[in-house]
Structure 1
Amino acid sequence: MTDRPIEDYAVIGDTRTTALVARDGAIDWLCWPRHDSPAVFLRLLDAEAGGCCGLALEGLRTTTRRYWPGTNILETTFVTATGRLRLVDAMPLHPLARVPDEGPDGAAEGRILRRLTCEEGAVAGRLHVRPTFDYARAAAGLAAQPDGSVLCRGGGEALRVAASVPLGLAGDRVEAPFSLAAGEEAWLVLAHGEAGGLDLAGAEASLDATRAYWEAWSGRCTYAGPHREAVLRSALVLKLLTHAPSGGIIAAATTSLPEAVPGTRNYDYRYVWMRDASFTVTAFVNLGYVREAAEFLRFLRDADATLGRDLRLMYGLGGAVPAEEILGHLRGWRGVGPVRIGNAAADQHQYDIYGEFLVALHAFLDAVGYEPPVRVNDHLPEVLENLTGHVIRCRHAPDHGLWELRAEPRQILHTKAMLWVALDRAARIAEAIPVAAPERVAAWRRAAAGIRAEYHAHGWSERAQAYTQAYGSDDLDAAVLRTVLFGAFDAASPRVAATLAAVSEGLGAGDLVYRYRNHDGLPADEATFTACAFWRVGCLALAGRTREAAPLFARLLGRGNDLGLFAEEIDAETGGQRGNVPQGFTHMAVINHAVRLAEAARGGEEAATEEPCAAGTAREA
């Protein structure tokens, strides 16, 4: 048994958790009942020790797959020596009769539906379920039930298995052999918990309702420009990364997929990064999904009762981020360890998050015509005062920066520029909604001007002929490109043009871009960072170089897998996906830069500015 390429995986989910489905039909990753719960299936991270829900077919020849249009329902077609089989995978999520002002917009069942249909000839094979509870640290007990289902228990968790074909037990796995002729079908249902609903008779209706939910959600997308299918797929991915009960948005669905091979940069991304979630909010707003943006503000309201006095780098979905822990019994994907759960970066200082959040808040408020819901408006004066106070107090402090460098903190240019962005967006909000005294807004503007003058003066390197990673440094950093997208630098200035050229030359790998190449306190290297390549597209577009930007964007889209999914990074030599998947950071960049290029193609004046357009389009990052 070998580890599959990262790009072999598709994702399904129900806005509570996700599952990764390999090209061969195996579910190799599933955390239940929540994104950050202990994994039940984790063959993704250990081909031997990690369990899965697998599919074996006799005489398999070819495999193709797709998502049903406008949905997160996966369809995989297998051609064997004797026939053709279609597998449909979904996690049920049904429309609500009435969507509440806050909270989940769909009813999840805590189930996985797998429908096998023989479309031609005859097909024989076997489904099997091997749960490895608590990251394969807990033994699984399997017990056949009177109704023909099987109950699996371990590590304080349980799942139930039912099928329309007879189930059998074989050691630590449940097996479901089948033989289907043309027109025949079989179902396998997995349900979380001892009392999970199996309901084979209602599986078809549940699948239909799930399709209706996703098609209705996709129908609300307001984007109608080029590459709409890629944009909508990215939006559907971001929706899967939400946690509907809390409103949180996780960074990625997995943990410990390596950023390079060989390497040691394997981290747990199943938490709510303030930065990543804020980016996602702006992407949702760009596509007309304002409710999703409001739901993230709900998450922050509930997770941080200090109204911005204690804004943190990251949050857990149900409390604090767990301490970082290495699971030494797991070998890691392709043997590249360590496998980590929890995240030590939760304790870092990264002051750019104030700018990230205020960008998202500004985008949301613009989208609702500066008439926010009472639950937002009631606390807006305190939130702005607290956040701007943070910015002014920490403006001279060093930090670890956007990339969470595990070295000594420095005066990071990206951070300084985002502090300017924070004060700028706070002032814009207060000028549109009278929630701060004019003298306070004037003070924010003065402080912002001082910060901007400082990073322009100290962030430039004559030797590198570029704005660089930190004051007094010659190290190139693709994060500087983001600051241009937020308006912290003039995209048309000669120094920005020189910086773009230097980054393309010094950090570029063809169409791809590395984050940086200097030592960062960590061993081993990493692959190219996919979002950085999209930032280069944005800078080219803002500089009026759309004839370069548009084909580059199209080529980058081609770097995704066959379903349009992206991990965090791409290996420049092999083209293989690297890092956790699917990665919200990357899919957010796909959305925002498609919007930016569409505006540039229309020739509107807004294409050269970060000011939102009348429809609320934020285009940030």
Structure 2
Amino acid sequence: MLSRSGAQTAVNGFVRILLEARVNQQLIPWLVPPMSEHNFAYPDRYLPIAEHGIIGNLHTTALVSVNGSIDFLCLPRFDSPTVFARILDADVGGFFAFECVAEDTQHKQLYLPGTNILITRFLSENGIAELTDFMPIVSEERDFAIFRRLKGVYGQHTVRVKIAPRYSYGKSECLIEKNPDGRGYLIHDPNGEQPSMHLICDVEMEIHDSALTATIDLNRDDNLDFILTLNEGKDFDLDWMECFTECRRYWNDWSAKCKYDGFWKEAVLRSALALKLLTSARYGSTIAAATFGLPETMGGSRNWDYRFTWVRDAAFTMYAFLRLGYTKEAEQFMDWIRDKCMDHLQLMYAVDGETELHEMELDHLEGYRGSKPVRIGNGAHDQKQMDIYGELIDTIYLYNKAGGSITHRFWQSIRKLVDYVVAHWQEEDHGIWEVRSGKERFLHSAVCCWVAIDRAMKIAEDRSLPCPMGEWRKVRDTIYEDIFNNFWNEEMQAYVQFKGSSTLDASALLMPLLRFVSSQEPRWLKTFKAIEEKLSADVLIFRYKLEHGATDGLEGDEGAFAICSFWYVECLARIGELDKATVVFEKMLGYANHLGLMSEEIGLHGEQLGNFPQAFSHLSLISAAFQINKKRR
């Protein structure tokens, strides 16, 4: 075990001087040198995206690699700047890693059943070591903490530890000092923009190059605890086992409330647990994915920030929660919708309801395996997308069916949304896929305008609520006729992406799922067959394939979308091809990672691509499993 020398003591004194020094009220900036030493770098600098698990506290999340390194963490919440982001830049991103020195060490990773507590095992000729990672659920008493326990299961091990935070998306090194008031070390943002952290541990570590390092002799039955918290001036006398037991009970109790009791229950529950991790306990909103900047194709430029609340994604997530019996999550989301969105509905929001999500590029990050640019914020936040009205009101309709409250004030807000749809349904928008090539009359948007009016009418009938029923019915029926006649391409024998186009779009699979058409409607069945023939690679379904020089305003290719494949499964079940639906579903499960987690896309080499884990992928998995089980019964 390494001990601190007089040199480190001098460094600590220098750190304190720096912390007090200010120039024009700003802390002295630091340059960030590369920090990926041989002992802590992955063989090719980046692990596959899929070789990570996720932990979280319902306020932020962290990605933990199969090697036991925290490679991604935003602090203090989902959409805050990162303090660890090695997955986006192996040199300057930052990480918190453990490494067994023994050669040919193998790694295994699993969740404790029914929880988001992650176990990583190190298996070598020396024996077995085990790392347990979890975050206590956010509360008034504790905003953030990561608990990491390194346990010697069998044999003797030499383990290297390195903690190298990098603040502000890797722009700034950290300032580290020995905690003058107690155990562990204090870690500071030199610019004062992000909160300081406190590493609580009994291991003596060296401070070097803005990192903490140690080499540990780990013996059988040793338990070495590392607790990373915010330095909020509180009493940090935390009991590891007490917090572990509390966290395990929380997740076990939450999992026990799941009402799903069909085939693939483990996969469905793991998807539900992933969706819960992406949900804010403080606000009730749900983010689209835990990460930003992970590429849709290796080396490509379609690298977006998904740490925000899309109305569409969140509405679909609430649909999944309602199906599983999690009405509390739906209630909290409705509270968020009522408070933040009903006066002026836009495409996406920050988790706290903030509407300005300016998109910018982080030029100093090389991106995952060189995939640039790395973007934060999202330029689509002010796009016009008419489909969100239907998806939101459909979720409110399902919430009402589950016994949710529709107050007079809430109904007046719903009426305003429907009146907007009635007045603007013929207008062009950017569509579900958020194209940047310009607006069109997209099929899916038109269908969702029909859904918005249809579901509002059903709510009004169920609750005997006042509304201009005759006017709404007339517009709803006009939309239906327009879609049935004007979005059909006779030459292609299919419904097409937008009015007048010759592009197939997998979002047409949603037409029977949204109950716009029967699953036996001849025109839709022809569209389904066309999608099978032209947009599929076995069980993988692509969103669309542009032809004849068409563009979506974006450069580069993309993989197959997991959500489209699960839509395809659900459609197969609905049209009566139950055996095929079962096989396709089970083959899709094979594209999930070792923990059952899925990113946004599957590449043509079978790799997971895009932000990870992705809410869309997991909520559509749940929906597909439900549909197969419904048909089987």
TM-score by length of 2: 0.90
Match of 1:490 in 2: 518
Q: Tell me if the contact between 1:164 and 1:187 (Cα under 8 Å) persists in the aligned partners.
A: yes
Which of 503, 511, 532 is residue 531 of structure 2 equivalent to?
Answer: 503
Match of 1:406 in 2: 436
Distance 1:197 1:595 in 2: 47
Match of 2:109 in 1: 65
Match of 1:273 in 2: 310
Shift of 1:228: 0.3
Q: 1:321 to 1:55 in 2, by over 3 A?
A: farther
Q: Tell me if the contact between 1:388 and 1:422 (Cα under 8 Å) persists in the aligned partners.
A: yes
Can you list the C-alpha shifts for 1:81-108, whole angstroms capped at 9, x where unaligned?
Answer: 21100110000128xxxxxxxxx7x975
Can you list the C-alpha shifts for 1:422-466, whole angstroms capped at 9, x where unaligned?
Answer: 1111111111112224xx123222211110110010111112211
Please show how residues 293-312 of structure 1 align to structure 2 within 5 Å.
293-304=330-341, 308-312=342-346
Q: SS where residue 313 of structure 2 aligns?
A: helix
Which consecutive residues of structure 1, in runs of 5 or more, have no partner in the other structure?
A: 95-103, 603-621
Match of 1:45 in 2: 88
Match of 1:170 in 2: 208
Q: SS where residue 424 of structure 1 aligns?
A: helix
Match of 1:99 in 2: none
More displaced stretch, 275-284 vs 119-128: 119-128
Q: Tell me if the contact between 1:264 and 1:523 (Cα under 8 Å) persists in the aligned partners.
A: yes
Please show how residues 202-351 of structure 1 align to structure 2 within 5 Å.
202-304=239-341, 308-318=342-352, 319-351=354-386
- The Cα RMSD (Å) is 1.4
Distance 2:457 2:202 in 1: 61
Q: Tell me if the contact between 2:135 and 2:147 (Cα under 8 Å) persists in the aligned partners.
A: yes
Match of 1:610 in 2: none
Shift of 1:38: 0.5
Which of 147, 152, 168 is residue 113 of structure 1 equivalent to?
Answer: 147
Distance 2:219 2:411 in 1: 67
Q: Tell me if the contact between 1:530 and 1:569 (Cα under 8 Å) persists in the aligned partners.
A: yes
Which of 616, 621, 624 is residue 585 of structure 1 equivalent to?
Answer: 616
Q: Tell me if the contact between 2:542 and 2:560 (Cα under 8 Å) persists in the aligned partners.
A: yes
Match of 2:445 in 1: 415
Match of 1:553 in 2: 585
Instruction: Read off the aligned partner of 2:209 and give its amino acid letter.
Output: G
Q: Tell me if the contact between 1:479 and 1:515 (Cα under 8 Å) persists in the aligned partners.
A: yes
Q: 1:197 to 1:110 in 2, by over 3 A?
A: farther
Distance 1:324 1:167 in 2: 39
Shift of 1:199: 2.8
Match of 1:195 in 2: 233
Match of 1:84 in 2: 128
Instruction: Read off the aligned partner of 2:519 and give its amino acid letter.
Output: A
Q: Please state if 1:380 is matched with 2:410.
A: yes
Match of 2:27 in 1: none
Instruction: Read off the aligned partner of 2:374 and give its amino acid letter.
Output: V
Shift of 1:29: 0.4
Match of 1:392 in 2: 422
Match of 1:528 in 2: 560
Shift of 1:138: 2.2
Instruction: Read off the aligned partner of 2:564 and give its amino acid letter.
Output: C
Q: SS where residue 554 of structure 2 aligns?
A: coil
Instruction: Read off the aligned partner of 1:532 and give its amino acid letter.
Output: C
Match of 1:606 in 2: none
Shift of 1:217: 0.4
Distance 2:153 2:419 in 1: 64
Q: Percent identity, aligned pairs only?
A: 38
Match of 1:12 in 2: 55
Distance 2:535 2:348 in 1: 28
Q: SS where residue 12 of structure 1 aligns?
A: strand
Instruction: Read off the aligned partner of 1:458 and give its amino acid letter.
Output: N
Q: Please state if 1:514 is matched with 2:532.
A: no
Can you list the C-alpha shifts for 1:158-201, whole angstroms capped at 9, x where unaligned?
Answer: 1111213222212211123321211111111101234366435x
Distance 2:505 2:86 in 1: 35
Instruction: Read off the aligned partner of 2:626 and give its amino acid letter.
Output: V
Q: Please state if 1:75 is matched with 2:75.
A: no
Q: Tell me if the contact between 1:225 and 1:598 (Cα under 8 Å) persists in the aligned partners.
A: yes
Q: Tell me if the contact between 1:352 and 1:414 (Cα under 8 Å) persists in the aligned partners.
A: yes
Can you list the C-alpha shifts for 1:100-157, whole angstroms capped at 9, x where unaligned?
Answer: xxxx7x9755100001111111111122110100101223111111324111111322
Can you list the C-alpha shifts for 1:245-288, whole angstroms capped at 9, x where unaligned?
Answer: 11110000000100112311001000100000000000000000
Q: Tell me if the contact between 1:477 and 1:503 (Cα under 8 Å) persists in the aligned partners.
A: yes
Shift of 1:77: 1.1
Give the number of equivalent residue pairs. Answer: 580
Distance 2:450 2:576 in 1: 24
Match of 1:180 in 2: 218
Distance 1:414 1:112 in 2: 42
Please show how residues 358-369 of structure 1 align to structure 2 within 5 Å.
358-368=393-403
Q: SS where residue 331 of structure 1 aligns?
A: coil
Which consecutive residues of structure 2, in runs of 5 or more, have no partner in the other structure?
A: 1-40
Q: 1:198 to 1:177 in 2, by over 3 A?
A: farther
Q: SS where residue 105 of structure 2 aligns?
A: strand
Q: 1:109 to 1:123 in 2, by over 3 A?
A: farther
Distance 2:169 2:224 in 1: 29
Q: SS where residue 471 of structure 1 aligns?
A: coil
Shift of 1:600: 0.6
Rg larger for: 2
Q: Tell me if the contact between 1:191 and 1:197 (Cα under 8 Å) persists in the aligned partners.
A: no
Q: 1:196 to 1:554 in 2, by over 3 A?
A: farther
